A and B are shown apart, each in its own frame.
Chain A
């Protein structure tokens, strides 16, 4: 399989800007087009990653961004896969390019997030598990993150100090990233003194919700050649797999796991399977990674991901962290962008933002947070309701 080329990337900085999401998406798209050296009128296919919190324009993001950029008659698609929406949008663009149906595509995601805890979409919806988990249990997103964190402490002896060290590491990287929302270093003492939200997780262990936008211009090999692009960054894999029955992790927003009464658990739990499918597609393994962007919805979850993507055996991520091997300057930096800890989550934009970071790192254009000699980068993420998301980019 040939690998589509990342011709350009762009972002609107993350923050709480109070503007419509369309503005962030358009700013990111125009930055990506400039980076690619092409015009919007050259784009044959636009894929929008939807946001469900901004009314109808959010549900038809492809059309919304196309109209805002100016109708050109381009083909469009819109897709939603919760936090994995960006990877799905990229996969849709990739498939159309690999099928020979287009040469150049633009992928855009943007969100304007409400304040505070994520809450379900309004109205009485007793058939919607996302509504019911709030109604019956008051089970917020941080509550699920906290269940994983407590489980990790019980299984592996991870401590709140380890969790705090993840935040310290990511804040240090984020301070070097002009697109990050939080650009201040923090101390472990500050993390450990922040208010408890869902025991054992404190405010500074949990990622915020943010406004932001990100975009990628993806092209076929022949299109890139015509533009005279040399040594481009390529998309070597996109994994959008579901869990395999029985999924034994209590996934957000579920009330229960699948049952293992009839079928034993799969060889790889869901998160590990998401990464594995990407490795298989790229013909690469964890040992090939120069760095990784993982979905640190909480500090504790970053440690789980480090194991799930195969950088070490289960239970050993704490040691990698303590030895500095996942920090900038370490053997395989994790979240050199600063991660969600420094960005906060802008749902449909987040997986695309991860791809922007992969691209900058692989081009050697990441400035003070550059991973020296980066050749292979992995970005992983997981969306509600069983959406896997992993992208491997190479140069």
Chain B
């Protein structure tokens, strides 16, 4: 959902407006979210795989349902990562890094992992 994997690489799938170049994540069909753009439909696009940390945090306590928390629980790390070309910030879980290892401005790369119930999800990780 909203991402694709080829070999050992993952990409976020967004939507791009063919008229003005506005990008959205998650992807949507249309119309273009730019209120001054007349485009009715958007095209699927792969987002840049690397970006810089806009901010980050963690959940020290297990998040409530419908999240499926691992047992025993270890804090989920989250990062909001700024993609320069698209001009957007995308939130995701962080794989194998704790808040102590992150910093605003640090480069991260898209990867993927599984939630505690096995459902695959995009994640940010070390480049």
A: residues with CB less than 8 A from B are 116-117, 119-120, 124, 131, 133-140, 142-143, 146-151, 154-155, 195-201, 245-246, 248, 250, 254-263
Chain A neighbourhood of B108, CB < 8 A: none
Instruction: Find the A residue at minimum CB distance from B24.
Output: A259
In contact, A198 and B66 (Cβ under 8 angstroms) = no
Check B71 for interface membership: any CB of A closer than 8 A.
Answer: no
Cβ–Cβ < 8 Å partners of A133 in chain B: 91
Taking a contact as CB atoms under 8 Å apart, the answer to whether B121 and A260 are in contact is: no
Q: Contact string, B77-119, partner A, CB cutoff 8 A, digits 1/0?
A: 0101000011111111100000100011100000000010001
Which residues does chain B contribute within 8 Å of A257, judged by CB atoms? Answer: 88-89
Given that A151-B55, A256-B26, A262-B20 are contacting pairs, would A196 and B86 also be in contact in the complex, using a CB cutoff of 8 Å?
no
B78 and A147 contacting across the interface, CB-CB below 8 Å? yes
How many chain B residues touch A (CB < 8 A): the figure is 48
Taking CB atoms, residues of chain B closer than 8 Å to A263 are 20, 22, 34, 36
The CA of A260 and the CA of B115, in the complex, are separated in Å by 31
Pairwise interchain contact B26-A147, C-beta atoms closer than 8 A: no
Report whether B23 and A134 are in contact in the complex, using a CB–CB cutoff of 8 Å: no
Write the nearest CB–CB distance from B125 to chain A, whole angstroms: 15
- Tell me the bound Cα distance from A154 to B86 in angstroms: 23
- Do A135 and B33 touch (CB < 8 A)? no
- How far in angstroms is the closest Cβ of chain A from B13? 12
What's the nearest-Cβ distance from chain B to residue A122, in Å?
8
20 pairs, A vs B, C-beta closer than 8 Å: A119-B65, A120-B66, A134-B66, A138-B63, A143-B63, A147-B54, A148-B55, A195-B60, A198-B58, A198-B59, A201-B57, A248-B89, A255-B90, A256-B88, A258-B22, A258-B88, A259-B24, A261-B22, A262-B34, A263-B36
